[in-house]
Chain A
Amino acid sequence: MVSSLQVKRIGGLMLYCIIVAGILIVPFLIQSPYILHILILAGIYLILAQSLNLMLGYVGFLSLAQTAFFGIGAYTSAILAVTYRQPFWIGLILAIILPSLIAAVVGIPFLRLSRHSFVISTLGFLLICWLVARNWVEVTRGPLGIPGIPSPTLNLFDLVEVSFSSRASYYILMMTSVLIITLFLIKLVNSRIGRAFIAIREDEALAQSVGINTLKYKLIAFSISAGIAGVAGSLFAHYITFLDPTIFEFYNLEHVLVITLVGGSGTIGGPILGSVIFTILPEVLRVAKEYRLIVYGIILLSTVLLMPEGVGGRFKTYMHKRRLKGVYAK
């Protein structure tokens, strides 16, 4: 006999495999380099949105520094690849480690603050990073930027060499990263650590009173989210192949805030939904960048005013209510 739980689990696994296969098969079905380009960028913003979601949606601290860690990751990767001729994988690993370490160091003072002051200090941190990128010319080349960042290659024990220079191969690399990060986050937020995050979000004083070391867990979350933003930065730098201080501009921050908030923070599915919406929407609307930011602003404002839990959050509440109804009907 197979229990219904096992059926459900097998069904879930199959659904998961189908989704993965579906995502990975896309470049063989769609040959259009333009669509692949849009999907790759959507993947990068999705990773960044998940890093914001971890802080805002699970720990309840709005961090505007996520695009700073994105930029730090991108610069780390780019400088290692161009100046020091290191392979992509070393750059990627350091693009995770360095932002995490920086987050752990600046997090100690920042995360002791109230939620208001935290927002302002992360904004200050973002602007300092921007200033450093523009003025530390010996390392970052300042406003000139770093051109010619090589495409990533994977060297398997000198036997096979895979290059990710084509759009289709970069898409595979991108989506693999998205999948790994999504699975990692699902594991994380459902673990003991993740429950501590949620406890802090709901009531920090209460969490502290039941023996949760809140500063420790906030630091863990901030470091992990910075590392995730670093991955997005590294993938961004190697895809665009050119990097300059405009990576710290507010455009990225606003884009990611809108994706996270409209999709619904506090769920892993929310930002995924948000990035699907905001990948398709600009293509449908076909508007210039200046109009786009106005439209984004209006969407963000309407979301905050009318639907603060986001599309994903509303769906979750709806499903929950339906399930409750079913229980009562029995």
Chain B
Amino acid sequence: MSAETIFIQHLVNGLLLSGIYGLVAVGLTLIYGVLEIVNFAHGEFYMLGAYFTFIASAWLGLPYYLSIILAVVSSALIALLVERGAIRPIVERPFESKVLSTFAISMILANVVLLLFTATPQTVRTGIAGTLEFAGVFFSVERVVALLTGYLAFLALHFFLQKTRLGKAIRAVAQNREACYVVGIDLNKMARLTFTLGIGLAGLAGALIAPIFSIEPSMGQAVVLKAFAIVIVGGFGSVKGAALAALLVGLGESLVGGYVSATLKDGLSFLIIMLVLIIRPQGIFGRTTRVL
């Protein structure tokens, strides 16, 4: 393989990672914007999405596109339950309660999955395996599907937030809660909707990544830190910032992993978190006023 081919493959892998991280991070940033909760259990819902895909394709024998839908719907349903039981009671509480509550949810979910599926990594077979050739470079079909679906979901989310009444209401809550009371936006409903939407996006990310990497109960912990890094770089609560930062982190990881070292690739997002928090706590793309 020529150096160019390798570079293009790293680039495409980076774009794929960016899409996946972006879906997880956007949910995290939306939930922070509307509920003012840093959801430490977010990675676990990504993991659940992957496991639901596994159940749907390996146990129920559903085709891949149906498995994805099932995974998203199931994660969203669990999110509804979690919102009702553990998020709504603590929305008005001090920040430690919020952190510890979501931390406890992450403990419960990760260990229930560990108990049911053991720590052994599982693989998901989709029936669409194969390779595509484009300009002399080979890509696996699953990766291309994941990449395109991820970016399509992003576009759909952008359209939803910018053009529809509900999306505008969500953005309004994130900007000014008191004003929302005045114009009659139901905050509880918006909180529930945002939480479910954010978790659904994380579930989708998990469903898309499931056939590409092997899945294991601890996969959520690895990804949630990257999502934190993205949200911190993008500025807490900013969707555009998260999308741009996801590109940065995904491409950065892929290129650093390919050309520098695998260890540095794993540590990259932590280093980004540290550096950004020290130098520019409001995030690189964040507003100059401190949101947090």
Contacts and interface: CB of A to CB of B under 8 A. Distances in A.
Main SS class of interface, A:
helix
Contacts of B107: 250, 254, 293-294, 296-297, 300
Q: Tell me what chain B mostly uses at the interface: helix, strand, loop, or mixed.
A: helix
Given A120-B38, A121-B274, A257 B100 contact: yes
Interface in B162-186: none
A127 interface: yes
A13 interface: no
Given A124-B274, A127-B270, A117 B90 contact: no
A25 interface: no
Contact of A308 (B97, B232, B236): B97
A217 B236 CA distance: 27
A261 B100 contact: yes
Contacts of B271: 128
Interface in A102-125: 109-110, 112-117, 119-121, 123-125
A289 to B, nearest CB: 9
Contact of B277 (A117, A127, A291): A117
A281 to B, nearest CB: 16
A290 interface: yes
Interface string A288-318: 0011011011101100110010000000000
Interface in B39-97: 86, 89-90, 93, 95-97
Contacts of A296: 107
Contact of B225 (A116, A124, A135): A124
Contacts of A125: 270, 274
A38 interface: no
A308 B97 CA distance: 7
Interface string B105-121: 10110011011000000
Contact of B278 (A109, A128, A301): A109
Interface in A249-288: 250, 254, 257, 261
B277 A135 contact: no
A127 B268 CA distance: 11
A291 B97 contact: no
A146 to B, nearest CB: 20
Given A119-B99, A294-B111, 20 more contacts: A62-B95, A62-B100, A116-B99, A121-B273, A125-B270, A128-B270, A131-B263, A131-B270, A290-B111, A293-B107, A297-B105, A297-B107, A300-B103, A301-B101, A304-B90, A304-B97, A304-B100, A304-B104, A305-B90, A308-B97
Interface of A: 56, 60, 62, 109-110, 112-117, 119-121, 123-125, 127-128, 131, 135, 250, 254, 257, 261, 290-291, 293-294, 296-298, 300-301, 304-305, 308
